[in-house]
Amino acid sequence: MKNYFNLLSSVQIFKGINEPELSAMLECLGAKKVNAAKGSFLLLAGEKAENVGILLSGSLQIIKENNEGERLILAALEPGQIFAEALCCAGITESPVSVMSTAESEVLLLKFSRILQSCSNSCEFHQKLLGNMLRLLAEKNLLLQGRIDLLGKGSLRSKVMSYLDSFESQKMPIRIPLNREELADFLCVERSALSHELSRMKKDGLIDYRKNEFYIL
């Protein structure tokens, strides 16, 4: 497990916990490393999530199938990210989503019940762990809230402005990390409709842009 220390120490859920403590904790938490072949599932919709997962290597997708059988990709996970934490914390008995490995992946599973209960060794870092967990959930909460604000905007134009405003703290050539198609997906609109609106906004003197460098005027 030690070869993953660098990665694990960068995982938000273990923030502020250093190596010797971490090793003890992993023991406490019933950590189990599993390998997932490409195309295999770490969690199926309908199951109960008993473990919080940490992706060590490879890649995962969080997938939701609607009643028409269409697969919607809710998120693509990279190494270091965690999954199923909200399901565990909420005690959901029938997961609405599945987790699929999209490559040969290594995953660390932590028993959620052990996260909650202070372990028999009563290791002093449970508190830190719980604080981290709270912070993670709360941050995601605020992130989701922001996304709802944005999606609730009536017009495509205000969605774009909201999106750009979310970078407000930074200096002006705003370099957005999404290409047009990804931005359109994020704003839940058509790519070409987005392009149309962007050029209208440029014509109206609201913004300027070249590829993914934007300026609010």
| Residue 139 interaction partner, one of DNA, a second copy, none, beta carbon < 5-8 Å per kind | a second copy
Q: Counting contacts by CB under 8 A, is residue 155 touching a second copy?
A: no
- Binding residues (CB under 7 A) for DNA: these are 154-157, 179-181, 188-199, 209, 211-212
Binding-residue total with a second copy (CB under 8 A): 39
Q: Could you tell me the smallest distance in angstroms from the CB atom of residue 209 to DNA? A: 6
Alpha-carbon gap, residue 45 to 118, rounded angstroms: 29
Q: Find the radius of gyration of the CA atoms of the chain.
A: 21
HEC string of the chain equals CHHHHHHHHCCHHHCCCCHHHHHHHHHHCCCEEEEECCCCEEECCCCCCCEEEEEEECCEEEEEECCCCCEEEEEEECCCCEECHHHHHHCCCCCCCEEEECCCEEEEEEEHHHHHCCCCCCCCCHHHHHHHHHHHHHHHHHHHHHHHHHHHCCCHHHHHHHHHHCCCCCCCCEECCCCHHHHHHHHCCCHHHHHHHHHHHHHCCCEEEECCEEEEC
Query: Contacts with a second copy in 16-55 (CB under 8 A)?
Result: none
Pick between residue 117 and residue 179 the one whose CB is nearest to a second copy: 117
Q: Counting contacts by CB under 8 A, is residue 89 touching a second copy?
A: yes
Q: Give the range of 21-29, 35-43, 52-60, 81-89 binding a second copy by CB under 8 A.
A: 81-89
| Residue 194 interaction partner, one of a second copy, DNA, none, beta carbon < 5-8 Å per kind | DNA
Binding mask 157-176 for a second copy (x = CB under 8 A): --------x-----------
Q: Counting contacts by CB under 8 A, is residue 200 touching a second copy?
A: no
Q: Could you tell me the smallest distance in angstroms from the CB atom of residue 214 to DNA? A: 10
Q: Give the range of 4-12, 20-28, 146-154, 176-184 binding a second copy by CB under 8 A.
A: 146-154
Pick between residue 20 and residue 177 the one whose CB is nearest to DNA: 177
Burial class (CB in 10 A: 0-12, 13-18, 19+), 153: middle
The contact set with a second copy (CB under 8 A) reads: 64, 67, 72, 74, 85-92, 96, 116-118, 127, 130-131, 133-135, 137-142, 144-145, 147-149, 151-154, 165, 188
